[in-house]
């Protein structure tokens, strides 16, 4: 194996980037087994937690671009996981609702993502995992743009 310069491996930003690339690949591969993508998970999770929402609201909640939201909702609707209905208050807008099939798909994806976490964090104890999650949460919260 090639050696990595010490000035890289001592930088948290470099380490986080390396780990993020690996985590993304594990999640992508796991979600692919369920016929899904990460954007699908974000939307299904938001709908399950917060209830029916407009596409714009889902984009804000999930940190997704409008065109990505539309494409993901089209995929989810085609698979029968969500239903789109016109908003009674504004007929130009759609309300997206999670259905029973979508709830089952979300549970499948939760199991996949739990496995990804176990794989990714396998060298850490349960306490180390909690500490890492707490520290990462603090960093994300600190660097989140105002209004998010």
- In this predicted model, what pLDDT tens digit does every residue of 2-46 receive, in sequence order? 788 999 999 999 999 999 999 999 999 999 999 999 999 999 999
Give tens-digit pLDDT for 38-72. 999 999 999 999 999 999 999 999 999 999 999 99
pLDDT at 1 over 60: no
Question: Are 53 and 73 in contact, with CB atoms under 8 Å apart?
Answer: no
The b-or-e profile of 67-76 (16+ CB within 10 A means b, else e) is ebbeebbebb
Q: Which domains does the chain have, with CATH numbers?
A: 6-143 (1.10.10.10)
The pLDDT value recorded for residue 88 is 87
pLDDT at 146 over 90: no
Element of type H or E holding 112: helix 100-120
């Amino acid at each position: 194996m090639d050696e990595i310069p010490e000035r890289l491996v001592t930088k948290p930003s470099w380490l986080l980037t390396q780990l993020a690339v690996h985590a993304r690949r594990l999640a992508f591969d796991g979600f692919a087994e369920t016929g899904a993508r990460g954007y699908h998970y974000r939307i299904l999770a938001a709908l399950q937690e917060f209830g029916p929402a407009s596409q714009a609201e889902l984009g804000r909640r999930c940190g997704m671009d409008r065109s990505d939201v539309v494409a993901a909702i089209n995929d989810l609707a085609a698979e029968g996981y969500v239903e789109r209905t016109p908003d009674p208050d504004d007929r130009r807008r759609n309300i997206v609702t999670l259905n029973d099939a979508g709830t089952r798909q979300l549970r499948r994806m939760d199991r996949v993502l739990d496995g990804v976490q176990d794989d990714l964090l396998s060298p850490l104890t349960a306490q180390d995992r909690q500490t890492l999650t707490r520290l990462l949460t603090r960093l994300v919260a600190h660097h989140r743009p105002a209004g998010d």
